[in-house]
Chains A and B, each alone.
Chain A
C-alpha cells in the first residue's frame, strides 16, 4: 500500500512536470494559433515548465484545441482524441473553442469543441493573451495535482440562452402590458 502510494506520487509528479501538447486547429481564424505559437516561442517559452509541442497524437498528453469544431473537423477531432493515449486532457483555447464564438449564430451551428469531446479547461478570449493560456494550463496542472480550481457552470455564461431569456422576458412584458 505504501509502495503504491509512493509510485502514485512519483507518477503524478512526472505528469505535472512534463505535459506534452498537441495543437489542433478545428477551423478557427488562426488568431488563437498565433497566440499558442507565441506561448511556445522564446518570449513566453513554456519549455520552462516542461511543455513540449509534439507532432503525433500518440506522443501527446494535452490537446490544445482552437476553433469552433466545424462540421468537417468534428469527426477528425474525435479521431485525434481517440488516438491520444490515456490519461489525456483537453484545453479549449479561445472563444470559438469554448462556445462557438462569432461562428455560433452562423447558418450551421458550431457550438464549440465540448459538443464533440470532453473539455477540462476553458480559456476564453478572442484571442486569449499568452499569459491567459499559460494560466489555463497551470489550472490544468493544479487540477491534476488535486488542488482547488475555479469551476464555472457553462450554462451560467451561455450568452445565447441569456439572450433568449431576455427576449422572452421582453415578450412577456409586452404581452402583460
Chain B
C-alpha cells in the first residue's frame, strides 16, 4: 500500500491534471472543434480552418479572446449574483466530470449511490441557468430564462428515468458498479432489450439540456438574440461557454458509461487481454506491473475519447438535420410523448426483462466467446 500522503497527492494531481480539470477542458475544447467541423461538413461548408492544424485551436482562441474582453455589468443587474452564477456555470460541470470513469473503471470520486448525487447536481445546473438569466435583469433575457427553466426542468425527467432504469436493470446504484456489471456480463447495457430505446431517449433529452438545435428555444438566435446569456460578456460568457462544452462532455460521458460500457473496450470479449490489463499496478494492487498500468490508462482514455466523440457526432448530426421547434410543440413532445414512453419502457423493463434475460439471452450465449447470461 502507498503511504497516505502519496495517495492524497495522487488524488489532488488527478483532480487538477490528468483525468480531472485540465484533461476534461482539453477534451471539451477538442469535441467542440469536432462538433463545429462536422456540423460545417454537413452544411457543405469547411468550418474553422486557419487556427492551428485544420482549425483545431479555434475553441481555445475563442475562449482566450472572451477572457481578454471587457466585462460589462449593467447597473440594474445583481452584480454578485452574475459573478457567482458564472463561476457555478463552470464549476458544476467540472464537479460532475469527476464522477465519470475515464482512466479507470471508477471515476476519481466514486461511492455507492453516486447516481443519486449526479441526478441532483444536473438539476442544479438548470437552476444556475435560470438564476443567471434572472440576475442579469434584462427584459430581453427574461423570455429566454423562462423558456430555459421550463425546458430544462421538463427534460430532467426523461434523463433521470433513463439513468435509473439502467440502475434497475443492473441492480447497481453507482456509475462504477454499472461499468463493472457490463464487464462481468460481457455486454454493454445498450444490448439489453429496451435499453437501446433509453439511450435514444437520453440523447434526445441531452440535446434539450444542452440547448442545441432543434431544442435551442431558450437561446434562439433569430428571435430572442442570445436568450438568457444576452447580457453576459467577456469572462462570464467565456465561463458559460466552456461550462456548456464541459456539460456536453459530461452528458455523453455518462451515456458512455451507463450504456456503452464506459472506458472498457474489446477486453470485454477477450478474457486474456482483460487478465493482462488487470495485472497492472494500482492502488488496490500495488504488486502489479507499472508499465502495464500506463498502457492500461492510455488505452482506457483512448476508448473513452472515441466513444464520447462518436456520441458527440451523433448529437451534431441531429443538430444539423433538424429545424427549431416551437416552445409549445416542445413541451408537448416532452410531456405527452417522451415521458410516457420512457415510463412505459421502465415498467416493461421491470417486469419483462428478467424473463427475456432468462429465455432469449441464453439462446444467444454462444455469440460471444466468453458467453453471456446473468
- Residues of A near any B CB (own CB < 8 A): 10-11, 13-15, 17-18, 20, 42, 45, 47-50, 54-56, 58-59, 61, 83, 85-87
Q: Determine the distance from Cα of A81 to Cα of B243 in the docked complex, in whole angstroms.
A: 28
- For B63, the chain A residues whose CB sits under 8 A away are 14
**Which B43-67 residues have a C-beta within 8 angstroms of A?**
43-51, 55, 57-58, 60-65
Residues A48 and B65 in contact, CB atoms below 8 Å apart = no
Expressed in whole angstroms, the minimum distance between the Cβ of B230 and any Cβ of chain A is 5
* B304 at interface, CB cutoff 8 A: no
Which of B69-77, B106-114, B124-132, B342-350 participates in binding chain A? B69-77
- For A50, the chain B residues whose CB sits under 8 A away are 48, 50-51, 55, 58, 61-62
Which of B22-30, B232-240, B264-272 participates in binding chain A? B232-240
- Residues of B near any A CB (own CB < 8 A): 36, 40, 43-51, 55, 57-58, 60-65, 68-72, 221-222, 225-226, 229-234, 237
The answer to whether residues A85 and B226 also contact, given A10-B64, A42-B44, A48-B47 and a CB cut-off of 8 A, is no
- For A13, the chain B residues whose CB sits under 8 A away are 61, 64
Residues A18 and B230 in contact, CB atoms below 8 Å apart = no
Residues B225 and A55 in contact, CB atoms below 8 Å apart = yes
Q: List 19 A-B contacts (CB under 8 A).
A: A17-B57, A18-B58, A18-B62, A47-B45, A48-B48, A48-B49, A48-B55, A49-B50, A55-B222, A55-B225, A55-B226, A55-B230, A56-B226, A56-B231, A59-B233, A61-B65, A61-B69, A85-B71, A87-B69
The answer to whether residues A48 and B69 also contact, given A10-B64, A14-B61, A17-B57 and a CB cut-off of 8 A, is no
- For B49, the chain A residues whose CB sits under 8 A away are 48-49
- For B36, the chain A residues whose CB sits under 8 A away are 47
Residues A58 and B232 in contact, CB atoms below 8 Å apart = yes
Q: Determine the distance from Cα of A13 to Cα of B69 in the docked complex, in whole angstroms.
A: 13
Given contacts A56-B226, A58-B233, 12 further A-B contacts (CB under 8 A): A18-B51, A18-B58, A18-B61, A18-B65, A47-B40, A48-B46, A48-B49, A48-B55, A55-B221, A55-B222, A55-B226, A87-B69
- For B48, the chain A residues whose CB sits under 8 A away are 47-48, 50
- For B61, the chain A residues whose CB sits under 8 A away are 13-14, 17-18, 50
Which of B40, B44, B50, B225 interacts with A56 by CB under 8 Å?
Answer: B225
Q: Determine the distance from Cα of A58 to Cα of B140 in the docked complex, in whole angstroms.
A: 13
- For A18, the chain B residues whose CB sits under 8 A away are 51, 58, 61-62, 65
Residues A58 and B230 in contact, CB atoms below 8 Å apart = yes
Expressed in whole angstroms, the minimum distance between the Cβ of A15 and any Cβ of chain B is 5
Expressed in whole angstroms, the minimum distance between the Cβ of B93 and any Cβ of chain A is 20
Residues B70 and A85 in contact, CB atoms below 8 Å apart = yes
The answer to whether residues A86 and B46 also contact, given A11-B64, A48-B55, A50-B58 and a CB cut-off of 8 A, is no
The answer to whether residues A17 and B237 also contact, given A50-B62, A55-B221, A85-B71 and a CB cut-off of 8 A, is no
Residues A85 and B51 in contact, CB atoms below 8 Å apart = no
- For B237, the chain A residues whose CB sits under 8 A away are 58-59
Q: Determine the distance from Cα of A15 to Cα of B70 in the docked complex, in whole angstroms.
A: 13
CB-nearest residue of chain A relative to B68?
A11
Expressed in whole angstroms, the minimum distance between the Cβ of A135 and any Cβ of chain B is 15
5 closest A-B pairs by beta carbon, nearest first, are A55-B225, A14-B64, A85-B70, A17-B61, A86-B70
Expressed in whole angstroms, the minimum distance between the Cβ of A50 and any Cβ of chain B is 6
The answer to whether residues A48 and B50 also contact, given A13-B61, A58-B233 and a CB cut-off of 8 A, is yes
